[in-house]
Amino acid sequence: MTSRTVLIVDDDYGVREVVSMAVEDMGYTPITAENGKDALIRLASYKPDLIVSDIKMPILDGYGLYHRIQQHPDYRHIPFVVLTSFASQVIHANNVHPVAILPKPFDMGVFIEVIEQVLEND
């Protein structure tokens, strides 16, 4: 059986590293990108089972990434989890409907539960 893959998109190197290590400890393969544009490039090479993305990033933010993914028939089925310091009302006001919103700073136990739940139900 092939390992499930998680694309982690965040402009903060430390967040990418911590989330990558957690994903790897759960037995999944992490792929990282530092912004939405970089994530789209990664999507062309990898087929992740889940995307975990920050919202506020340079070049292409999480809103733009989400909307581009939703427009692409090969990507729109991929569950999208938002990891951000923005309020959920702001996320939904920008017409982004992720499977989960995890506030920063995040509780690693809650993060693990959410990721496991999303990947088990996919």
> 5-121 belongs to which homologous superfamily?
Response regulator (3.40.50.2300)
pTM of the model: 0.90
Q: Does residue 12 register a pLDDT over 70?
A: yes
Percent of the chain with pLDDT over 70: 89
Mean pLDDT computed over 58-65: 92
Q: How many CB atoms lie within 10 A of CB 87?
A: 11
Report pLDDT digits (tens) over 19-56: 999 999 999 999 999 999 999 999 989 989 999 999 89
Question: Tokens 């090479």 identify what position?
Answer: 45
**pLDDT score recorded for residue 58:** 93
Beta bridge partners of 100: 81
Between helix 62-71 and helix 36-45 the angle, nearest 10°, is 30
> pLDDT band at residue 9, thresholds of 50, 70 and 90?
very high
Alpha helices, DSSP H, located in 11-84: 13-25, 36-45, 62-71
In the chain, the amino acid numbered 14 is G
105 contact partners, CB below 8 Å, separation of at least 6: none
What is the helix (H) or strand (E) element at residue 66, kind and residue range? helix 62-71
Total residues belonging to the chain: 122
Every domain of the chain and the residues it spans: 5-121
